Structure 1
Amino acid sequence: MKRKHWQGWGPGEQAEQHYLVEPRSLAGGGDLRHVSEFLRACGWQDKSKRNGPLVLDSPDRTIRIGYNPYVQPGGWTIHSKATAHQDEWTVSLGRHTPVEIVAGLTDALTRPRSAHAPNVWAPLQEQHWDTTRDAEHFTARSPDGTAWMQFREDQPGHAMWWSGAHDQQGNGWTAMFTASTPMHLVQAFSTALASPEPVMRPRGRVPHSTQIRTTSVSVLPSQLSAWQQARVSAARAATWARTWTTNGPRTTARPHATASHARARR
């Protein structure tokens, strides 16, 4: 990793050893703040109780995201109430799902939908995942065979998306999406899942797996802080821009202000 001097480094700051991990699907859970701080910056309300599970509600209170490590099997749950334009839906992700992959989905919840029709399989095919199809299942599998994405219909009217990753040592996770999950969100997840970009983990937080590749890098705490802050700042800026575009500045005078001005001219 190329070193760059950031403003504000302390004189006694010591570099810490981290690792870039590939494939990202086997990198382990990671820092929950990668997901939670971004959502807070986008206006999501933190409903977590002290020393309890993470709970975040969308600004319109239709979607709740939770992470609970205190139950078995534990992990992430994303649930949306039914709305006038969308059926109820739920996504469950195992506790070892990398936060960068979770964020692919949760970040998309903060953005407007694209006008383009979503295609869950396109990001996987772009990364040369193998696809197979039978009467009930359509499956894409990563080139190394460790990760998969599948649409399955075990019986009429009972369909779902199923994904995950596992290595030969048994490390891994699974994710399930109800069939009513909006397709653009499933595509956002598949894009993050298939990304070839490695993810960073600190020393001691890298899974023991023969199927991952690691590159050792030295990182200063201020570098990590700056990278995290840049992500949060980008979320705040995008949220502010959408609010400004939607609401905009007031361009017409209030009725009472117009009347007052007319009286003043008499």
Structure 2
Amino acid sequence: MSTQQPYDQDPYQEVLVSPMYLAGSNGTGDAGFAPVAHWPHHYLDEGPCQLLVTSPDQRIRIGWFGDDFELWKITAAKEAVSAPRWTATFNHVTPAEIVAGLTTALAHDYAEADAYEGNGRFLASPSLRWADAVRPLTDAGWTRDGGAERGTVEIIAPDGQAGVLIDNRLSDWDDETVTLWAGPPGWDTRAEADFTARTPSHLIAATAAAMTDPAPVMRERHQLHRKMENLVTLTPVGPTGPQVLPAPQVPRAPTPLDVRRTAVAQAVQRATRFPQTAAGLRVMAARSRTATSVQNRSSNPAPALRARPGASPTAPRRSR
């Protein structure tokens, strides 16, 4: 049962959420499946796995478990019937856009392997240097946490709301040794992606790189947990795109000329309404003089073009 409070705004309003790793899941796996949309799809009526997308040779398997805590399970094997060489799982809070970082890399690796009839990089051994798997994070300014447990390494995002934990202690091949996470601790707020020991480093790096993508993602308001609202930036989306409010118009201060013009206009209005008053007669006389002056200027040459009395218009100027 949900404990979230009622929304003050339309819960189905579309908003852009940033940073992306705190956006949570939108309830569908569309973004994660998009890079492998051309692969065979298997819709399963029974069992926890509702959709299974496989490479054409079925060595790569991407399972969607719609009702489970571990929403995604992705594996790769040397043969279709072999045990998985490595496994990656993503929980129900993880944005599908992060999963797309891995599925995009898998689609690329498989295309290259098919072209050269090889096993493909998706079965490569991981690097001996743990830093290779998280280089996109450190390049983006994520820093190492000095308080990590002995034998582990933790890298934290600048906002402190995401990170990666690497377990360098001896373990079995099927043990989870790398965990990408985002959000406050909690069943419904913490996104997690776990990778087993033999996962190729470049695939973990591709997933990590998706977490550093600054582009916001679209969600409906109710899809974002209320605990996240103070941790993210929300931009409402209108029918034609993000709604940008116009900047407030600051009134321009009147200039001295504006003040004089206003005073003259008000005086003329008063004179028109009360022409027999002394002030009214003065204004009317001023208007008459102004009109006569304008008429004289329009009928005579401009002063700058009239010759001086007694001077020839073509006489040369005396040099000093």
What TM-score bracket applies, with the shorter chain setting the length?
A: 0.5 to 0.7
Q: In the alignment, which residue of structure 2 is the partner of 1:29?
A: 25
Deviations 1:23-44 (A, max 9, x none): 2111011231122243123xx1
8 Å CA contact 1:151–1:159 kept in 2: the answer is no
Q: Are the structure 2 counterparts of residues 27 and 190 from structure 1 closer, same or farther at C-alpha, using a change threshold of 3 Å?
A: same
Kindly indicate whether the alpha-carbon contact (under 8 Å) linking 1:120 and 1:187 is maintained by their aligned counterparts in 2.
yes
C-alpha distance in 2 between matches for 1:107 and 1:207: 27
Larger Rg computed on CA atoms: 2
Q: CA deviation at 1:168?
A: 6.6
Q: Unaligned regions of 5+ residues in structure 1, if any? A: 1-15, 224-266
Q: C-alpha separation between the residues in 2 aligned to 1:94 and 1:180?
A: 20
Structure 1 residue 122 corresponds to structure 2 residue 147 = no
SS in 2 for 1:109: helix
Question: What residue number does 1:204 align with?
Answer: 222
* Cα deviation, residue 102, structure 1: 0.5
Q: In the alignment, which residue of structure 2 is the partner of 1:172?
A: 190
Q: Specify which of 159, 163, 176 is matched with residue 148 of structure 1.
A: 163
CA distance in 2, matches of 1:167, 1:181: 26
Are the equivalent residues in 2 in contact too, given 1:35–1:99 (CA < 8 A)? Answer: yes
Shift of 1:69: 2.2
Consecutive unaligned residues of structure 2, counting only runs of 5 or more, are: 1-11, 113-119, 122-126, 242-320
- Counterpart amino acid of 1:140? I
Moved more, 151-160 or 56-65: 151-160
2:17–2:235 Cα contact (<8 Å) kept = yes
Cα deviations by residue, 1:93-143 (Å, 9 ceiling, x for unpaired): 10111011000111111113799x993232112221111366411211111
How far 1:82 moved relative to its partner? Answer: 3.2
C-alpha RMSD of matched pairs (Å)? 3.0
Deviates more, 1:184-193 or 1:146-155: 146-155
Alignment partners' CA distance in 1, 2:237 and 2:91: 28
Q: Which has the higher contact order (CA 8 A, sep 6+)?
A: 1
Contact kept in structure 2, 1:167 and 1:211, CA below 8 Å:
no
State the distance in 1 between where 2:157 and 2:200 align.
Answer: 23
Find the partner of 1:45 among 27, 40, 46: 40
Task: Judge conservation of contact 1:165–1:173 (CA < 8 Å) in 2.
Answer: yes
Q: Distance in 1 between matches of 2:94 and 2:194?
A: 12
8 Å Cα contact 2:134-2:208 kept in structure 1: yes
Structure-1 separation of matches of 2:235 and 2:55: 37
- Give the TM-score, by structure 2 length: 0.56
Q: Tell me the amino acid that sits aligned with residue 232 of structure 2.
A: I
Match for residue 65 of structure 2?
68
Give the direction of change, closer, same or farther, for the CA distance of 1:104–1:159 in structure 2 (3 Å limit).
Answer: closer
Q: CA deviation at 1:200?
A: 1.2
What residue number does 2:249 align with?
Answer: none
| Residue 237 of structure 2 corresponds to residue 217 of structure 1 | yes
Q: CA deviation at 1:48?
A: 1.5
Cα offsets for 1:43-95 (capped at 9, x unmatched): x1101125861211112210111111223x23100011135xxx700001101
Figure out how many residues of one structure are paired with residues of the other and give that number: 201
Amino acid in the other structure paired with 2:236:
S
**CA distance in 2 between partners of 1:212 and 1:81 (Å):** 38
Would you say the 8 A contact 2:134–2:204 is kept in 1?
no
Which of the pair is proportionally richer in strand? 1
